[in-house]
Amino acid sequence: MSEALLCIENLRVAYPRPGGEELRWAVDDVSFTLQAGERMGLVGESGCGKSTIGRAAMRLLPASSQVEGRVTFQGQSVFDLTPSELRKFRGEAVALIFQDPMTRLDPLMTIGNHCIETLQAHLPELSAREAKQKALATLDKVKIPASRWNQYPHEFSGGMRQRVAIALALLLSPKLIVADEPTTSLDVTVSAQILQELTRLCAEENMGLLLISHDLAMVAEYCDRIGVMYNGKIVEMGLTESVFKQPQHEYTRSLLQAALHIQTVDEAEGLGTGDWGLATGDSSSPIPNSQSPILRVTELKQHYTIEPNFIERLFKGQSQTIKAVDGINLDLYPGEILGLVGESGCGKSTLSRTILQLIRPTAGKVEFLGKDLTTLSPQEIRAERRQMQMVFQDPHACLNPAMTVGQSIADPLLIHHMADSAKAKQQVLWMLEKVGLTPPEIYYERYPSDLSGGQQQRVAIARALITHPKLLICDEPVSMLDASVQSQVLDLMLQLKEEFELTYLFITHDLWLARFLCDRIAVMNGGQIVELGPTKQIFANPQHPYTKTLLAAAPLLARA
């Protein structure tokens, strides 16, 4: 047999613990090999050590981490590389696609400069023109148009930033890509295109792929082999088909059961069996006529103007307008869960921020509980926001790194004068337990940097729910969670919905999740809602070509 591309032997990793806490292995005695051209998936709950393995393979762990074992790449020990060898190794031999694209992108650099810097550092022999041509071709593979070359990361949606991060990983044609949740914030169509591109590269260029993900359906579709991680250990490893058809470990079975629960298919109707609909029970008319909407959006527009730079002004002389939200009409009724689906960059997140008046609309009205929010003063809007909260797509960006978890969750209670410090702490500890962060006393004192991506997302959900709002806008709230925790959080959200009479606007790119959870679905494309209707109707009889494309691209986890 030929020499393995990547070989991990008895790897153990422990992070430094504050205050002399007992040593805990984040990765505990993990061994596996990856051959050239092979696609391997690593799945498991957030915090189980998946990402730590990816970082250990590239020596990206904190200097104070305790590491035991051996990692070799094409027979050479990664832990023995000199600084100059390590710099060449990262990018040219192995590339990492990070879970959070904003940790990979410099906010002060344009997207074009990111690409040029990477190419100049590793391929200085390329001319400026050749480097730009290569970069544009790679960006085109991930559907980033050349017109976005001079824009900055903050001008991109979360999904489009992730596409840029993937392009940067592909620029140098590495022999191995470690993809850590590479499509978490991408819609199904772009996700499928990128994974098909990665699969093609594995076949044509003998490139290896280590895909770290909680999306079991995606791993089943694109990986040859799968390793299931739990509590720092690989508890099951084998060919994807055999692991999914005959799971041996109890944890693997629970993961599959949770994923299939969300993708449940009613054999009689070919539709979801979730009974989260409104009390009418009539899918053709799910909203009682007597109800007034809790939220009404009328002809809402959010247009951005991109001013040309000096050179562009010489040749074109005009600015470019991006219609992120372009004439949206939407009613949301009390107790309803309305799903908003569409590709990254279509305007979903912009619409949610405009509804909350985090950004003022170009035109149109937003009425919440009978009040037109677009006419209110900043102080009046702040008071209204106690009743309408948001769970953001990127928890790392919305949590203050200098505040503990307890302080972050208690903050809204103190801002709105809903509790004093002692009562706030009691409520925060209760909420931490509700979202599965136990024991709550320990998590209360931790900082966001001490948590995994999935744990950060749970903190963000707890903070949004702490004021008991009437409307919760959820922007991909469970996209970073594994299937089992995803089910727990969704069940929690449904439980709290009944307990506190909540209404949800649920933004997601996961169609099966939308089908499981939502009463109605609005499909968004190019800043407009192209189709709106009851969930069952959308899945059984989609009318718009774009809706049909989305449904065709969504990976489905087949039953064993």
With a cut of 70, list the residues of the chain below it in pLDDT: 1-2, 18-22, 102, 185, 187, 263-290, 307-318, 480, 482, 555-560
- CA-CA distance, 323 to 363, in Å (whole number)? 12
Helix 421-434 to helix 405-415 angle, to the nearest 10 degrees?
Answer: 120
Q: What is the predicted pLDDT for the residue at 288?
A: 47
Domain identity same for 356 and 464: yes
Q: For residues 120 and 124, give the distance between their C-alpha atoms in angstroms, rounded to a whole number.
A: 5
Amino acid at 468: H
Are both 69 and 191 inside the same structural domain?
A: yes
Residue type present at position 177: I
- Within-domain flag for 298: no
Tokens 């903070």 sit on residue = 463
As given in the structure block, the two tokens for residue 299 are 């002809």
Sort strands 371-372 and 363-368 into parallel, antiparallel or unpaired: antiparallel
Tell me, what's the pLDDT at 313?
63
- Kind and range of the H or E run holding 463: helix 453-465
Q: Are residue 148 and residue 239 in the same domain, yes or no?
A: yes
Q: Cα separations (Å) of 559 from 54, 189, 243?
A: 30, 23, 12
DSSP characters over 159-213: HHHHHHHHHHHHTT--SEEEEESTTTTS-HHHHHHHHHHHHHHHHHS--EEEEE-
Alpha-carbon distance of 114 to 102, in angstroms, equals 13
Residue owning tokens 């009689």? 268
Which residue, 207, 227, 262, sits at the end of a domain? 262
Residue 72 lies in a domain: yes
- Domains in the chain: how many in total? 2
**Is residue 15 domain-shared with residue 125, that is, in the same domain?**
yes
**344 and 241 housed in the same domain:** no
Picking from 350, 342, 299, 298, the residue whose alpha carbon sits closest to that of residue 324 is: 350
Q: Per the domain annotation, does 296 fall within a domain?
A: no
Of 262, 286, 315, the last residue of a domain is 262
Residues 238 and 345 in one domain: no
The residue range of the domain holding 130 is 6-262
Q: Domain for residue 283, yes or no?
A: no
In a domain, 499, yes or no: yes
- Looking at residue 18, its pLDDT comes to 66
The closest alpha carbon to 533, from 518, 542, 517, 521, belongs to: 521
Please list, in sequence order, all residues whose beta carbon lies within 8 angstroms of the beta carbon of residue 389, skipping any fewer than 6 positions away.
412, 464, 465, 467, 469, 471, 472, 473
Q: Has residue 254 been placed in a domain?
A: yes
- Rounded CA separation 474/464 (Å): 9
CA distances from 348 to 15, 269, 324, 508 (A): 37, 29, 9, 9
Q: In angstroms, rounded to a whole number, what is the distance separating the alpha carbons of residues 446 and 394?
A: 19
Whether 75 is in a domain gets the answer: yes
Both 227 and 346 in one domain: the answer is: no
Q: Specify whether 86 is located in the same domain as 227.
A: yes
Do you find a cis peptide bond into 439, omega within 30 degrees of 0? yes
pLDDT at 200: 84
Domain for residue 472, yes or no?
yes
The residue out of 262, 280, 301 marking a domain boundary is 262
Q: What are phi and psi of 34, to 5 degrees?
A: -130, 125
Question: In terms of DSSP H, where are the helices of 281-330?
Answer: 310-315
Say which CATH number the domain at 34 has. 3.40.50.300
Tell me how far apart the alpha carbons of residues 211 and 216 are, in angstroms, rounded to a whole number: 11
